[in-house]
């Protein structure tokens, strides 16, 4: 839970946000985003047991109505409404998601990862102790020489 809160704090999650957790697991990120940070949150989970657990957590935490978990492969989800995306997956899964995130997220959207990173993106903020990385679309994915980074 310490890392979950660190992820949401680093991304500065707030009541204006729609957070997407890709691979929602037991639902702890979506429920914490709603209960402690005031956001609305959508999770995608492909494992049926974890999907059910996430719904129990949503119901018993009181996040019902502001948190949802869908039983769906996140590669097939439309991410364009997300203002924040949280990821605790694997390195190769992050890399596989990178182009989809670049294509579907609006500039300024935040992507926050736990432990695993993106080879081709530059983090904007890092919590080194808890291994949490914040990326911002339109800045982190800007390809340039170091002299002209970030873009003006």
Ligand X SMILES: C[S@@+](CC[C@H](N)C(=O)[O-])C[C@H]1O[C@@H](n2cnc3c(N)ncnc32)[C@H](O)[C@@H]1O
In what order do the strands lie in the sheet containing 84-87? Answer: 67-71, 40-45, 18-22, 84-87, 110-114, 132-136, 125-127
Q: Which is nearer to ligand X, 25 or 133 (CB)?
A: 25
CB of 42 or CB of 136, closer to ligand X? 42
Q: How far is the CB of 67 from ligand X (least distance, A)?
A: 13
- Least Å distance, CB 46 to ligand X, is 4
Contact residues: ligand X, CB under 6 A: 21, 23-25, 28-29, 44-47, 50, 73-75, 88-89
96 C-beta neighbours (distance < 10 Å), count: 12
Q: Among candidates 105, 12, 29, 9, which has minimal Cα distance to 69?
A: 29
Judged by beta carbon, residue 25 or residue 79, the one nearer ligand X is 25
């Amino acid at each position: 839970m310490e890392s979950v809160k660190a992820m949401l704090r680093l991304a500065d999650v707030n009541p204006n946000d729609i957070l997407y957790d890709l691979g929602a697991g037991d639902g702890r990120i979506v429920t914490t985003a709603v209960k402690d940070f005031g956001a609305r949150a959508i999770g995608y989970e492909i494992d049926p047991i974890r999907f059910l657990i996430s719904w129990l957590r949503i119901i018993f935490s009181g996040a019902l109505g502001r948190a949802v978990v869908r039983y769906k492969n996140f590669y097939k989800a439309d991410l364009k409404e997300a203002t924040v995306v949280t990821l605790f997956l694997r390195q190769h899964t992050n890399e596989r998601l990178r182009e989809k995130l670049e294509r579907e997220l609006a500039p300024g959207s935040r992507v926050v990862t736990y432990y695993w990173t993106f080879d081709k993106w530059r983090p904007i903020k890092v919590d080194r102790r808890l291994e949490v990385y914040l990326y911002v679309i339109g800045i982190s994915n800007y390809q340039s020489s170091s002299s002209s980074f970030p873009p003006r």
